[in-house]
Chain A
Amino acid sequence: MGGSGSRLSKELLAEYQDLTFLTKQEIVQAHRRFSELLPRDKQNVEDSLRERVSFEDILSIPELKANPFKERICKVFSTAPSRDSLSFEDFLDLLSVFSDTATPDIKSHYAFRIFDFDDDGTLDREDLCRLVNCLTGEGEDTQLSASEMKQLIDNILEESDIDRDGTINLSEFQHVISRSPDFVSSFKIVL
Chain B
Amino acid sequence: MLHQWSAQSGQTPREPGHLPESEDLWEQEMEWLRASREPLRSLPYAMMDKRLIRKMREPEGMQMTRWQCWQQKQQTMGQRLGEVARRLAWGFGLWKGALYEIGGLFGSGIRSYFTFLRFLLLLNLLTVLLTASFVLVPLAWLHTQGPGPTLNFTALQCPGSHQAQTYIPRFHNQLWNVLTGRAFNNTYLFYGAYWAGPESSSAYSIRLAYLLCPLACLLLCFCGILRRMMKGFLRRPGLGQDYGVPLSAKVFSSWDFCIHLRDAATIKKHEISNEFKVYLEECRRRQQVQQDTPTQRACRLLSYLRVNLLNACLVAGGISAIFWATKYSQDNKEESLFVVLQYLPPGVISLVNFLGPLLFMFLVQLESYPPSIEVNLILIWCVVLKLASLGMFSFSLGQTMLCIGRNKTSCETYGYNACDYQCWENSVGEELYKLIIFNFLLTVAFAFLVTLPRRLLVERFSGRFWTWLGREEFLVPKNVLDIVAGQTVTWMGLFYCPLLPLFQSIFLFLTFYIKKYTLLRNCRTPPRLFRASSSTFFFQLVLLLGLLLAAVPLGFVVSSTHSSWDCGLFTNYSAPWQVVQELVALRLPLSGQRALQYLSSHAFGLPLLWLLSHILTVCIAQSQANARAIHVLRKQLVWQVQEKWRLVEELSRLLQEPGSSESLIPDSPRFRASHPRFSGPGFWSPGSPGPESPARDPSTRTPPWLSSSYPGSRDSPGPRFRFPSGTEL
B-binding residues in A (CB < 8 A): 18-21, 23, 62-69, 77, 79, 82-83, 89-90, 92-93, 96, 98, 101-106, 109-111, 113, 115, 118-122, 124-126, 131-132, 134-137, 139, 141-144, 148, 151-152, 155-156, 159-160, 162-171, 173, 176-190
Contacts and interface: CB of A to CB of B under 8 A. Distances in A.
A176 B722 contact: no
A98 B248 contact: no
Given A159-B248, A187-B253, A171 B258 contact: no
Interface of B: 40-44, 46-48, 50-51, 54, 76, 83, 86, 100, 108, 232-236, 238, 245-262, 264-266, 269-270, 272-273, 276-277, 279-280, 283, 531-533, 536-537, 634, 637-638, 640-642, 645, 679-680, 683-689, 694, 697-699, 703, 705-706, 715-718, 720, 722
A19 B43 CA distance: 9
A63 B685 contact: no
B46 A93 contact: yes
Contacts of B108: 182, 185-186
Given A96-B41, A131-B251, A142-B273, A163 B638 contact: yes
Closest 3 CB pairs of A and B: A121-B685, A119-B718, A180-B249
B634 A176 contact: no
Contacts of A109: 44, 680, 683
30 contacts: A19-B40, A62-B260, A66-B262, A66-B264, A67-B255, A67-B260, A79-B46, A79-B722, A98-B257, A106-B42, A121-B684, A122-B687, A124-B698, A134-B255, A135-B255, A136-B272, A142-B273, A151-B283, A152-B247, A152-B251, A156-B247, A156-B248, A162-B638, A163-B637, A163-B641, A164-B638, A170-B680, A176-B252, A177-B252, A180-B249
A103 B264 CA distance: 27
A141 B537 CA distance: 32
Nearest to A63: B260
B7 to A, nearest CB: 16
B260 A165 contact: no
B232 A66 contact: no
B273 A183 contact: no
A20 B253 contact: no
Nearest to B51: A19
A186 to B, nearest CB: 5
A66 B259 contact: yes
A3 to B, nearest CB: 26
A62 B283 CA distance: 38
A79 B716 CA distance: 12
Contacts of B694: 164-166
Contacts of A120: 685-686, 689, 703, 705-706, 717-718
A102 B41 CA distance: 9
Given A125-B699, A185-B533, A23 B83 contact: yes
A126 B40 CA distance: 34
A135 B271 CA distance: 10
A184 to B, nearest CB: 7
A77 B49 CA distance: 13
A83 B688 CA distance: 24
B251 A69 contact: no
